[in-house]
Structures are given as structure tokens and as C-alpha cells.
A and B are shown apart, each in its own frame.
Chain A
Amino acid sequence: MKRIAIFGATSAIAQAVARLYAQEGAHFFLAARNEQRLQAVAQDLRVRGASEVVIAAADLVNVNDHAALLERARSALESIDVVLVAYGVLGDHARSIRDATLAVQEASVNYLSPLSLLTHVANLLETQGHGTIAVIGSVAGDRGRRSNYVYGSAKAGLATLASGLRHRFATQAIRVVLIKPGFVDTPMTAGLAKGGPLWATPERVARDIRRGIERGSTVVYTPWFWRWIMAIIRALPDAIFKRLSI
């Protein structure tokens, strides 16, 4: 039976991952902002087979609450096998490139808050001596593009944070898995035009995430083809990249 703490547990991807583990009878600690939504997710996981679900309504932007929140997770689960950090916002890019306040707000949710939370998580796992941290980044963090660099730069920061933690724990039984989804059909992306072969379902992405967690992979692109798409995008010389409208 796995003991799993999920931060941002009401996101579509987090729910899909949690369902996979619920079938195996996992024990959950779920944190997210909206209590009613958390309760709906908790009921669902119980029906699907979760052995126990503890919820905590918390606005994760409030970094000063992180220590207490982590303590609640630790006392609910005793020892933590998996920590999934699955929250983030996809802001209105056209507005946040003009409005520094908006850009900073977005970065607070997408980078500063996970930086704080993961600092606490890392120390906790170091004390207990084992565990897997899975962080949801994005292919948008692989190269700054004019269409999403505010979001992308925060996710790039998250990627560097994950690789740093991985390096820190290289000699211990602690894994740090960075997940890089491409386009996923969730309420967060409801504003984007959908359809076509690049779009994936949260269920598909969740299966990849679980496999990554089980294997202790370093970076999981999901679906897999994004690894190659992003390799090409990263390799493009600036002279060509500048001319592309991507």
C-alpha cells in the first residue's frame, strides 16, 4: 500500500494519477484550495478503493503555511512514499506580458510556491530516508517561446529545481521525477483550441506519470513523442527559431 501526498489534488491530471493508485488501495493526503472539490475527489477515490483519504484545504500560494501543511501530511501518512506536486495556473499570456503584477502572480503559483513546498518536502524525505518526489513541469519550460514564456519560464525554474534536488539526493533512496506533459485536455487548457494528434487525455498522461514514479525516471515526457519534438525545438538555431510562429 502506497502512501501518497498530492498537492493540487483537484487538478485533472492529479485526479487521474490518484485514481490509478486508489485501485491499489493507496492511502492519500490531498491538499488543494477548494474544500468542496477536495471532498468530491476524496469520495471518488474511496469508492475506487483508496484505503484512507485525508484532505486539507489550503491555498498553496501562502508559503508561510507550508511547514504546517507538510506536518499534517506527515502525521496523516506517517511515512510518505510519493509526493506529487501538481498545481499551477495557465494565465492569460497576452495580458501577463504587458502587466508585471500579473506575471509575478503567475510565477508565484507556478514557481515560488513549489520552491517553498519542495524545500519542506525535501527536508522531510531526507529525514525519513526514502521517497519519490514527482513534479509536474511542462514542455513549455524547454525553450522560451513568444506564445507562453511567462508560464514557460516558471516551469523552466521548476525543472532546474527538480534537477538540483535530484543531484542533492543522488546517493540516497530519494527519487525526483520531473513530468513534462504536452497538451492535455483539462479544464486548465479549456481556453485553447483542441483536437488533433498532439492532444492527450489526463488518463493517458497519468499512466505515464505512474510508470515514471515506479521506475524512478528522471524526466518523463508525456506522451513520449514530446521528447523528440522538444529536442528539435531546443536544437533549432536562433536564426531559424526567430522566424517560427510557435
Chain B
Amino acid sequence: MESSRRDYLSWGRVHRYPHQVAVPGFADGAEGALAAAIGAGQTVLAYGLGRSYGDSCLNEGQTLIATRGLDRFIAFDPVAGELECEAGVSLGAILELLTSRREDEPRWFLPVTPGTKYVTLGGAIANDVHGKSHHAQGCFGNHVRSLRLLRSDGAVRDCSDVENADLFRATIGGLGLTGLVLSARIALQKVPGFWLDSEDLRYSDLEAFFALSEESATDWQYTVAWVDCMARGRALGRGVFTRSRHSAQRPASVGAPLASRPRVAMPVDLPGFALNRFSVAAFNSLYWRRCARMPKRHLRAIDPVFYPLDAIGHWNRLYGRRGFFQYQCAIPTAAMRACIRTLVDRVAASGEGSFLAVLKVFGDRPSPGLLSFPLPGATLALDFANRGGATLALLDELDCIVRDAGGRLYPAKDGRMSGADFRRGYPRWDQLASLADPAFSSSFWRRVTADAPMERAA
């Protein structure tokens, strides 16, 4: 066990806490670290690649078990398309494995991948991540066949649909609270090729976005839109809609479909003033104009479609030392049109513009997870430089709009929602509370359950 250290942060870099950190290289080391933490009277939380934005991957003053050393593949079945690996394997490593296989073998791909490949398998399960394929494939948890969970009683539980099923469902989207995921077996999707047939369509307002989403739902496996959230009035919600699907073709130029390392990296924090309403508005306007008026269709590699930001290592440093907040909400279908309009308008009016605003319509496939974030409807993700009280006040206002629409926020992105909003958005939270391992906790979990009425607390 190490002494207390302050270098384990979440991606938003707002929450800066001391932690005891253990970095086991093997499962037996993880068992030892867990026992040692319990012996020291500490609670424990797994920490993967730190891509959660707020405090859901942090455990202030307590112990983190970093899983990056638990990164081995266990078995790959190229006929059934199933892959079993340890929890610290990154999705990037999985894609590297899948894309480097021989050309004459069937091609397998992750059915669900979030906006970065630098997340671990354990993190993808704990947050039940979703991606551009949600309308077609559901959540990551829809494709988890089984997992092995280390509990604080020292036992390892095999969990699946048929074995320890309640623990299985609680662990998917369970924010790491049910124990330490040691390994998992996932189902892959067979694809015709790794390159993507991809189209960028510039659209002029929110109605056009919803029309494009509907029209693309059946033939395009991956859809997402970038929204210019500085545009108001008739242009409100304008943006670029990107739809893609796997293709058997490959481009004429030789090259790998997957990038191995970031091309460039932010070596230091950008000064806090660099991203201001003028630079963000200029970026948004430029990005919108750069996309041609006529739809552009081409064959693209994996990274520019799924992971555009991974090309810049440590892009979170763009927001300076004070860090930034992500705000991602899901709004049910009935209210989504009006609510997204109100949200975008409110953000545009505030001038606290976000230059990464992402909008997507979810499908209606339910995840097995108890606390999964997606719901049939739409999701809007925004980020905001941390300017202290002003930023928090704006986010509180957005909360009211989301609450009125019956929506909820994504814990993986959150570092400030109220306990009441969390419990309203995730009414099954008390089931997770009763299945959670008593030795596991997180800053997020303590924050959103601290003010729960006594009779509901587990």
C-alpha cells in the first residue's frame, strides 16, 4: 500500500483528492490490496483509465485499486465472436487485437464503443457506456455475457444472466460499487470490414436533426451530431450530422484502420482564459462552415469516426488547470424536442459556450443494468470550462429544465448533481445500494446518497 497521493484525477480535473493507491499486476495482488485496505479501515474503488469526468471514479481520502496492470486477454473464440479479458484491458487494446488479425478470418468488432477508446473493460461495464450505435445495439451491458467479481468477503462470484443474476445486473452500470470486476466475457459483432462508409450532413436546425436521426436509424449503425451551441434564433441547434456503417471496401491509400497512438499531445495546461466565449463561438462557426453544404460521403478509418478527440493526448488540458464540467442528460421521447431546444437556447444565451456539444437519439433497447443511463429519447452532452459559481449556477438551471422533462444525468460525466435529482432519475438506486459491497464506495456515491431519507437508505 502506498502513502497518500494526489495524482489520481478524473477527466474533468475539477475534483482533486488524496487517495491511497494500489496498482496490482495480477488478480492475487488485487485480492491482497483489497484485504489490506479493509484491514486499514478504508473503502475501495476500482480506477481504470480515469475517463469518467466527475467524481464517480474517485474515492476521496480512501483507497483506489488501479486496474491498469490487470490487462491480459484470457480467451478469444473467433467462431462465436466472444472475447474474455481482464478488467483493465482497454477498448483500444481490444480493437488493436481485432483489427490485427489475419485478413481471411471473420472480422469482429466491439458492438458498442464510447467516444474514447482509452477506457477499460471494467469501466465500460461499471458505467454501462453507450455510443453512436445505441439506436442499433443498445448499451455495452447488452453485450456482456458474464463477469467475475471479487467481493470484500474474499470470494470471487461468477455472474451472468443465469448465475448471480441480481449481482450481474447491479454490476452493469453499478459504478464500481458491487465489488472489483476481475474479468468479463463479451460478445462481439461480425462486421464486413473495419473501414467505415461515413457521411457528414450539415443541417440547419433542430427539426432537421430529428428528421435525419429518424431517416438514418435503420440503415446507419452509427449516428451522432455535433451542435453549434452558440447559434440562436432560427439557426438554433444547427450542426453537423454524421452517420456511418461498416464497409467491406477499403480506401485506395494504404494505411491501418486503427491509429495506435495519439498523434499529438497537450504537454501542459492551456491558460484558463484561452477558451472564452469569443474563441468558442469562432470555433463553432468555423466548424459549421467548414462542413460543405452538400453531404460529404467517404471511407473513413475507425479513429476519426469514433474517437476524434483521442488524436490529441490529454485534450482535457485545453481547459486549463481549473478543469471543466461535462453535462450529459437523457430526455424521454415525449419531451425531447421541446426540452433540447430549451437547453440549447439557455446555453447559447449564457455565452458559456461549449465547443463539444453532442446530440444523439437513443434507441429503445433496454440494458440489463439497474442504473443504466440511456432511455428511449435523446441525449445532449455539453462541456463547460470550470468558472466556479457562474458555471455551477448555469448547470443548476439546466437541471431544472431536465427535471421538468423527466430526464436524468449521466453519473459517469457528473461531479455536481444533487442527490435528489440522482435518486429521482434512477429510482432503482436503492436496489444497487442493497447489492453494493459494503467495502466499496466512491465520492460520487457518498455525495448522492448522503441526504437520502433514512427509510430508503440501505
CB of A36 within 8 A of chain B?
Answer: yes
- Pick from B20-28, B307-315, B430-438 the stretch touching chain A: B20-28
Nearest B-chain residue to A11, judged by Cβ: B25
- Pick from A97-105, A156-164, A167-175, A187-195 the stretch touching chain B: A187-195
In the complex, the answer to whether A47 meets B76 with C-beta atoms within 8 Å is: yes
Q: What CA separation (Å) do A194 and B23 show in the bound complex?
A: 12
Return chain A residues, CB-CB under 8 Å to B69.
Answer: 12, 186-187
Q: In A21-49, which residues have CB < 8 Å from any B CB?
A: 23, 34, 36-37, 40-41, 43-44, 47-49
Q: What CA separation (Å) do A22 and B426 show in the bound complex?
A: 45
CB of B219 within 8 A of chain A?
Answer: no
CB of A10 within 8 A of chain B?
Answer: yes
In the complex, the answer to whether A194 meets B7 with C-beta atoms within 8 Å is: yes
Q: How far is the CB of B325 from chain A (nearest CB, A)?
A: 24
CB of B81 within 8 A of chain A?
Answer: no
In the complex, the answer to whether B100 meets A23 with C-beta atoms within 8 Å is: yes
In the complex, the answer to whether B74 meets A187 with C-beta atoms within 8 Å is: no
Q: In B39-98, which residues have CB < 8 Å from any A CB?
A: 69, 72-76, 86, 97
In the complex, the answer to whether B23 meets A187 with C-beta atoms within 8 Å is: yes
CB of B215 within 8 A of chain A?
Answer: no
Number of chain A interface residues as a range? 20 to 34
Most A CB atoms within 10 A — which of B24, B69, B75?
Answer: B69
Q: What CA separation (Å) do A68 and B192 show in the bound complex?
A: 50
Q: What CA separation (Å) do A190 and B36 show in the bound complex?
A: 15
Return chain A residues, CB-CB under 8 Å to B446.
Answer: none
Check A48/B28 contact, CB under 8 A, given A23-B100, A190-B2, A194-B7: no
In the complex, the answer to whether B74 meets A43 with C-beta atoms within 8 Å is: yes
Nearest B-chain residue to A188, judged by Cβ: B25
- Interface of chain B, main secondary structure: mixed
Return chain B residues, CB-CB under 8 Å to A47.
Answer: 73-76, 97
Contacting A44 at CB < 8 Å: which of B24, B27, B29, B72? Answer: B72
Per-position 1/0 for B1-13, Cβ under 8 A of A: 0100101000000
In the complex, the answer to whether A10 meets B25 with C-beta atoms within 8 Å is: yes
Contacting A43 at CB < 8 Å: which of B5, B7, B23, B73? Answer: B73
In the complex, the answer to whether B24 meets A187 with C-beta atoms within 8 Å is: yes
In the complex, the answer to whether B2 meets A191 with C-beta atoms within 8 Å is: yes
Per-position 1/0 for B182-209, Cβ under 8 A of A: 0000000000000000000000000000
Return chain B residues, CB-CB under 8 Å to A36.
Answer: 26-28
In the complex, the answer to whether A44 meets B73 with C-beta atoms within 8 Å is: yes
Most B CB atoms within 10 A — which of A23, A48, A193, A195?
Answer: A48
Q: What CA separation (Å) do A13 and B224 show in the bound complex?
A: 40
Return chain B residues, CB-CB under 8 Å to A23.
Answer: 100
Return chain B residues, CB-CB under 8 Å to A49.
Answer: 100
In the complex, the answer to whether A41 meets B25 with C-beta atoms within 8 Å is: no
Return chain B residues, CB-CB under 8 Å to A44.
Answer: 72-74
Q: In B118-170, which residues have CB < 8 Å from any A CB?
A: none
Nearest B-chain residue to A36, judged by Cβ: B28
Q: What CA separation (Å) do A34 and B73 show in the bound complex?
A: 18
Check A48/B97 contact, CB under 8 A, given A10-B25, A12-B25: yes
In the complex, the answer to whether B26 meets A10 with C-beta atoms within 8 Å is: yes
Q: How far is the CB of B135 from chain A (nearest CB, A)?
A: 31
Q: What CA separation (Å) do A37 and B31 show in the bound complex?
A: 13
In the complex, the answer to whether A190 meets B23 with C-beta atoms within 8 Å is: yes
Q: In A44-58, which residues have CB < 8 Å from any B CB?
A: 44, 47-49
In the complex, the answer to whether A37 meets B28 with C-beta atoms within 8 Å is: yes
In the complex, the answer to whether B72 meets A40 with C-beta atoms within 8 Å is: yes
Q: How far is the CB of A210 from chain B (nearest CB, A)?
A: 15
Check A48/B73 contact, CB under 8 A, given A191-B2, A193-B5, A194-B7: yes
Q: How far is the CB of A170 from chain B (nearest CB, A)?
A: 37
Q: What CA separation (Å) do A240 and B212 show in the bound complex?
A: 71
Return chain A residues, CB-CB under 8 Å to B7.
Answer: 194-195
Q: How far is the CB of A87 from chain B (nearest CB, A)?
A: 14
Nearest A-chain residue to B25, judged by Cβ: A187
Q: How far is the CB of B28 from chain A (nearest CB, A)?
A: 7
Q: What CA separation (Å) do A43 and B84 show in the bound complex?
A: 11
Q: How far is the CB of A151 from chain B (nearest CB, A)?
A: 19
Nearest A-chain residue to B71, judged by Cβ: A44
Q: What CA separation (Å) do A37 and B86 show in the bound complex?
A: 13
Q: In A82-101, which residues have CB < 8 Å from any B CB?
A: none
Check A40/B27 contact, CB under 8 A, given A47-B75, A187-B69, A190-B2: yes
Q: What CA separation (Å) do A153 and B325 show in the bound complex?
A: 50
Nearest B-chain residue to A203, judged by Cβ: B261
Return chain A residues, CB-CB under 8 Å to B74.
Answer: 40, 43-44, 47
Q: What CA separation (Å) do A236 and B29 show in the bound complex?
A: 41
Return chain A residues, CB-CB under 8 Å to B27.
Answer: 36, 40
Q: What CA separation (Å) do A34 and B75 show in the bound complex?
A: 20
Q: What CA separation (Å) do A195 and B25 show in the bound complex?
A: 19
Q: What CA separation (Å) do A191 and B5 show in the bound complex?
A: 11
CB-CB nearest 3 A-B residue pairs? A44-B72, A47-B73, A187-B25
* Complex A-B: 9 CB contacts under 8 Å: A10-B25, A10-B26, A37-B26, A41-B72, A43-B73, A47-B73, A47-B75, A187-B25, A187-B29
Known contacts A40-B26, A49-B100, A187-B69, then 13 further A-B pairs from the complex at CB < 8 Å, ordered by chain A residue: A10-B26, A12-B25, A12-B69, A23-B100, A36-B27, A37-B25, A40-B86, A41-B72, A47-B76, A47-B97, A48-B97, A186-B69, A195-B7
Residues of A within 8 A of B (CB): 10, 12, 15, 23, 34, 36-37, 40-41, 43-44, 47-49, 186-187, 190-191, 193-195
Residues of B within 8 A of A (CB): 2, 5, 7, 22-29, 69, 72-76, 86, 97, 100
